[in-house]
Structure 1
């Protein structure tokens, strides 16, 4: 049964057209990051980029080097789309994109993480076997079929993403639509729809549809009777998100994933009319079958555990942010923080009031007061800055308060804690994060 599910030979048209869509989209993402100023704001202008903890050794290229870096990734996207040196192109892109992801988290986005996962998977898929320059240069590569595990890998990955996203929305501030109201406030100036988006009934629709869509879209696409209507709903849903929330290529990438849910013959007739049909469906277990099953099982176990790891950490993830990233907790809250950073020279007790604008960008300034890992990293950064002046300091964040979803501000970080001297824990709670009294955020 398992062998038939994973190792049946099927038409590879969905994978081939997805490769083309994928390459075009990642190319647009990379060149767009240059054109919109994203690279400049997040990788060139900052003195310090706030990389993922443990990856501080990953630093942006000096000067305008990151423009060339993203230009190379954009070019690799084109190579992927046209199937030129596909294997080398997709592997190189995956490495470069992963490094970029780990290099900064001020502009963190779950979709960037998903792009790592899909790129990684594409490194192993035979996506260059048709309609590629690789085949033009070496006709022996051409093949019109693939193993069905390619389809099921994508389907299961998407199912995990969407279901966890739906479950994460099932909390008080989303269910009473106050989160939607907060999200829509910044859209008031939108032409034509700005005022409509402020209506409570619109918030109710968006909140309800958000949960139901994420929970049901994958099963609805898999079931033939609901597939077409689910596809058109998916198009509307993702285009709405693209226009209203402006979240890059993710909505279009999500639409592109739909090709794996339709019958391969249908995809062949739409996109590759001259391609020979693959009618001889059969099961053939490759010699790497057991290794594949073991590796994929380990991969998906990790994917299932990561989004729920926060349950093993004290207090609520919405308050502490511990375990938030890489868990498909998308558009769930807004956070605003305030406070005062102070550096105290350990010998003379001289106090230095820190003006964050001297060290970080405006976007980073908002993060260092509202997110504990940013506050901790900023303290480490300040300690090093003062050490270069032969001064040993402790760093404190006083009057630290945050507001979640525009609720009243509450005390957040213990002002007595020397953040520069504290260790960072990867899997447990930091006691210097004060407990929340928000009843809706309690477990």
Structure 2
């Protein structure tokens, strides 16, 4: 184990990835400002739906969030340059975590992956070469790293892709109906819009998605299939970028591939003027036990988190409990109708809430069919009425459909959502049972 984990290898893969990573997160942050994502998601809403338990994390007022993202973009540039790398990488990780936790209306599994990666990169010695830090302080310069660093990245990717593949093995993916739903919104795409509506395209997308996610990491690790897997990766990620428009993440996924090619190949392509040291014997660090313990705990958690929905009652596709943090990517489409009523506890007066007075269009869609959003909106209303001296109950009449299924009652209309607690580690009984068997 020591020989495998702690032998010294060429660090060209990590150094080159740091440059790609910094450029991409910088583009993500500056791009979020330029495309209006920050305005739509964090500035215009009256309040944001944070992760439950992090309600205190709300967007900065005025131009605060534009400055916030500009700072993150600048930190990305510093990461690219390897300037004050530890500070830049850790601060970026903390700031990105803040963005991730303060809003989930635009939740994306890739945002979660970037949060994990940002902390991983902050701990890794990615500034030991080809960096301003190494230029200003030659004593830190090194062209080697421990082998466990490379394999930590590979194992993280293996977990992500494998769970993403397994999650697709359910009826609505295998009969292509969810692909059809996803592609309907792409019908107006220039040149490819009509093509994306073809049944045979849906079939290719469905099976390619399953087999690519399942096999890409082993195929990249095995030399005879590496170049073929690389070619498929370029196609797969560019397709996702063009069709689904998910920001930097297809390109980040391509950047990860540097960890699968021999380091000397990466060094010859990107760092031609640098020479690498060769060390064949392991160098055991003093904190060896700490490193092994932290890695073990982290990866056990990563293996178990995606399975937690099996401990909840009912189907995760219906309840959404345990959906996040589990690499269940592009698996379902939800739609719902909702009527929210506020009832004054003292007078019994009932008022139907106009969602448009409180929520953006995207937030209204989420409140109508995602239980945690509905519950949080009830808590928000309770606080807003309390400011006016009223103590209220909140009841909802709510119907939801998943994918191409029928609409069914989703939330118990007799339950006051303003008074029930949210259960993080158990089923919320006010979510009515699924009726998929119908």
- TM-score, scaled to structure 1: 0.98
CA–CA separation in structure 1 for the residues paired with 2:288 and 2:225: 33
Match of 2:400 in 1: 402
CA–CA separation in structure 1 for the residues paired with 2:328 and 2:46: 29
Match of 1:323 in 2: 322
CA–CA separation in structure 2 for the residues paired with 1:270 and 1:323: 43
Matched, 1:147 2:146: yes
Matched, 1:109 2:108: yes
Match of 1:48 in 2: 47
Match of 1:297 in 2: 296
Match of 1:413 in 2: 411
Alpha-carbon deviation of 1:122? Answer: 0.8
RMSD of Structure 2 on Structure 1 (CA)? 0.8
CA–CA separation in structure 2 for the residues paired with 1:340 and 1:437: 21
Instruction: Work out the number of aligned pairs and report it.
Output: 438
**Partner secondary structure for residue 420 of structure 1:** coil
Match of 2:276 in 1: 277
After TM superposition, the structure 1 stretch with the greater mean CA deviation from structure 2, 86-95 or 128-137, is 128-137
Match of 1:422 in 2: 420
1:11-410 alignment runs, 5 A limit: 11-398=10-397, 400-410=398-408
CA–CA separation in structure 2 for the residues paired with 1:65 and 1:406: 41
Match of 2:430 in 1: 432
CA–CA separation in structure 1 for the residues paired with 2:36 and 2:281: 50
CA–CA separation in structure 2 for the residues paired with 1:192 and 1:5: 50
CA–CA separation in structure 1 for the residues paired with 2:416 and 2:378: 8
What whole-Å deviation, never above 9, does each CA across 1:364-403 have from its counterpart, x for those lacking one? 00000110000000000001111111111100111x1011
**Partner secondary structure for residue 418 of structure 2:** helix
CA–CA separation in structure 2 for the residues paired with 1:96 and 1:421: 33
**Partner secondary structure for residue 377 of structure 1:** helix
Alpha-carbon deviation of 1:278? Answer: 2.8
Alpha-carbon deviation of 1:407? Answer: 2.1
What whole-Å deviation, never above 9, does each CA across 1:50-73 have from its counterpart, x for those lacking one? 100000111111111000000000
Alpha-carbon deviation of 1:439? Answer: 2.9
**Partner secondary structure for residue 256 of structure 1:** helix
CA–CA separation in structure 2 for the residues paired with 1:279 and 1:300: 29
Alpha-carbon deviation of 1:107? Answer: 0.3
Alpha-carbon deviation of 1:5? Answer: 1.5
- TM-score, scaled to structure 2: 0.99
**Partner secondary structure for residue 419 of structure 1:** coil
CA–CA separation in structure 1 for the residues paired with 2:183 and 2:431: 29
CA–CA separation in structure 2 for the residues paired with 1:235 and 1:150: 24
CA–CA separation in structure 2 for the residues paired with 1:157 and 1:412: 35
CA–CA separation in structure 2 for the residues paired with 1:317 and 1:19: 36
CA–CA separation in structure 2 for the residues paired with 1:112 and 1:282: 38
CA–CA separation in structure 2 for the residues paired with 1:234 and 1:279: 31
Alpha-carbon deviation of 1:225? Answer: 0.7
Gaps of 5+ in 1: none
**Partner secondary structure for residue 123 of structure 1:** helix
**Partner secondary structure for residue 439 of structure 1:** coil
Alpha-carbon deviation of 1:48? Answer: 1.1
8 Å CA contact 2:7–2:279 kept in 1: the answer is no
CA–CA separation in structure 2 for the residues paired with 1:337 and 1:406: 12
Alpha-carbon deviation of 1:280? Answer: 3.1
CA–CA separation in structure 2 for the residues paired with 1:439 and 1:194: 34
Alpha-carbon deviation of 1:274? Answer: 1.0
Alpha-carbon deviation of 1:363? Answer: 0.5
CA–CA separation in structure 1 for the residues paired with 2:57 and 2:426: 25
**Partner secondary structure for residue 343 of structure 1:** strand
CA–CA separation in structure 1 for the residues paired with 2:109 and 2:21: 17
CA–CA separation in structure 1 for the residues paired with 2:116 and 2:279: 31
**Partner secondary structure for residue 339 of structure 1:** strand
CA–CA separation in structure 2 for the residues paired with 1:256 and 1:189: 30
CA–CA separation in structure 2 for the residues paired with 1:230 and 1:326: 26
What whole-Å deviation, never above 9, does each CA across 1:115-160 have from its counterpart, x for those lacking one? 0111111111110011111112111111111101110000000000
CA–CA separation in structure 2 for the residues paired with 1:191 and 1:403: 30
